[in-house]
Amino acid sequence: MTVEVKDRDLVSIQEARNLVMAADAAQRAFASLDQSGVDSAAGAVAAACEAQAERLARLAHEETGFGRWEDKLLKNLFASREVWRSVRDLRTVGIIREDPAGRTFEVGVPVGLVTALIPSTNPTSTTMFKALIALKAGCAVIFSPHPSARGCIMETVSVIRGALSALGLPVDLVSSLSMPTKEATAALMRHERMNLILATGGNAMVHAAYSSGTPAIGVGPGNGPAYIERSADIPLAVRRIFDSKTFDNGTICASEQSIVTETSIRREVMDEIGRQGGYFLPPGDSERVERVLMGPGGTMNAKLVGRTAEHIAQTAGVTVPPGTRVLLGQETRVGEKFPYSREKLMPVLGFFVEDDWEKACHKCIEILSLEGAGHTMAIHSRDEAIIREFGLKKPVSRLIVNAPAALAAIGAASALAPSLTLGCGAIGHNSTSDNVGPLNLINIRRVAYGLRELDDLRAAAPPGPGPRPREAPPDQAFDELVRLVMERLASG
């Protein structure tokens, strides 16, 4: 029998309060552990998540309908095994750094209690990742799941709690709202015992996190263009872009959202795109697809997020060749009313052509200024001077060179720090430009021994200027001026 819950918002707020109190007590106990104890907990959680990676990937795909479970499996393995490998040797609690010469040492102090917002696009992998970095930092974390992915997120949390229980640790170090509502999420973020918010989601949610009064690390939207410069290996560039854009059907926000190329190689790029399963929509069909990309209110159409190119075409009433991997709309305009220039978490790309690299550079900046400033973009080129020019000028936190942007930005296909929370810096209205990790979840207490006394500082100070000439009192100076003037007039 199904029991209807009345006053759902009030019940969810009370759940949030209960979770905070339980997590706070668990974190206080956890804070007594040394680095070895913290690492044992985080390592056990990583291993448990890795063991359940496939089952949780299938659950995420079944519940949300987004992407491909095979790619979600890779994301789960990345968020558990690869992230743990990258952070396991970090010192995060106790003395983390010493400088004998300068007579200082630094102490890692967990920020304490963290609330983490989890999106529906990468639900299980983001839950694993945020739990792992929180535990590695000595923190407790409470998740606020996207309602459409609640089941798979709760199941991931259950796996994590099982690993903690097996070690005899408080399971409330990691917990989740079972009744996610806006009111409950707000209660978590604004609670007086909450120390930090990790916000991954839409603009409204990130803005709410920064407006809560609790310190927050929020990450903004991506809208990264991929520039194919005339010196690029064009077949390889297209392959990398398509590998990225079709991975989990484009649900990683660092995936390419448009291609910008040059007039001199336009035909070659277009032919290669066709060979690799891209389909340039004719003008009428392009307009039909354009009309379904955004939903009411001008936001991304959630019903098409993470769907295949063929599904999107069918929804728009457009026929495409069998095996089409990516839809492309040729565009010249950039703006909120032109969806091909905006973020599309699906295998759809805008296609822009400019006369030379300087104009392409400006087009990329125009696209990023519309949406995605501070996030990620890609360049495919063998001209190091142009690559460096882009690195110096582009308003992004990650410029990906000759690689699939989605996989390189998160650190899976590059040497960047492995992370599923990518900061956009001040230009993206974020508090950090980092690939967020455990070190973002600790404070550092600096202990410094004295090296000099006040007398030492005075002795080392440069000598001051000599004594200044003594100034006459104001009335004497005026009388002297009058005397000189009168003498000059008399001798006139």
Structure tokens at 244: 């990225």
How many CB atoms are closer than 10 A to CB 289?
24
How far apart CA 76 and CA 146 sit, in angstroms, is: 18
Burial degree of 162 (CB within 10 A; 0-12, 13-18, 19+): middle
How far apart CA 400 and CA 409 sit, in angstroms, is: 7
Burial degree of 100 (CB within 10 A; 0-12, 13-18, 19+): exposed
Tell how far CA 135 is from the center of its chain: 19
Among 287, 298, 308, which Cα is nearest to 342's? 298
Look at residue 72 and give its three-state secondary structure.
helix
How far apart CA 256 and CA 376 sit, in angstroms, is: 9
H/E run at residue 380: strand 374-380
* Cβ 331 vs Cβ 340: under 8 Å: yes
* Cβ 93 vs Cβ 87: under 8 Å: no
H/E run at residue 305: none
Q: How many CA atoms lie within 13 A of 2 on its CB side?
A: 2
* Cβ 60 vs Cβ 152: under 8 Å: yes
Among 379, 72, 395, which Cα is nearest to 233's? 379
Q: How many CA atoms lie within 13 A of 215 on its CB side?
A: 13
Tell how far CA 75 is from the center of its chain: 16
**Sign of the dihedral defined by the CA atoms of residues 232, 234, 238, 240, in that order:** negative
Per-residue DSSP letter, 249:
G
How far apart CA 222 and CA 376 sit, in angstroms, is: 7
Q: Crossing angle for the helix pair 150-166 and 123-136, nearest 10 degrees?
A: 30
Q: Which residues are catalytic?
A: 253
Antiparallel, parallel or unpaired: β 442-448 and 104-110? antiparallel
3-state secondary structure 130-197: HHHHHHHCCCEEEEEECHHHHHHHHHHHHHHHHHHHHCCCCHHHEEECCCCCHHHHHHHHHCCCCCEE
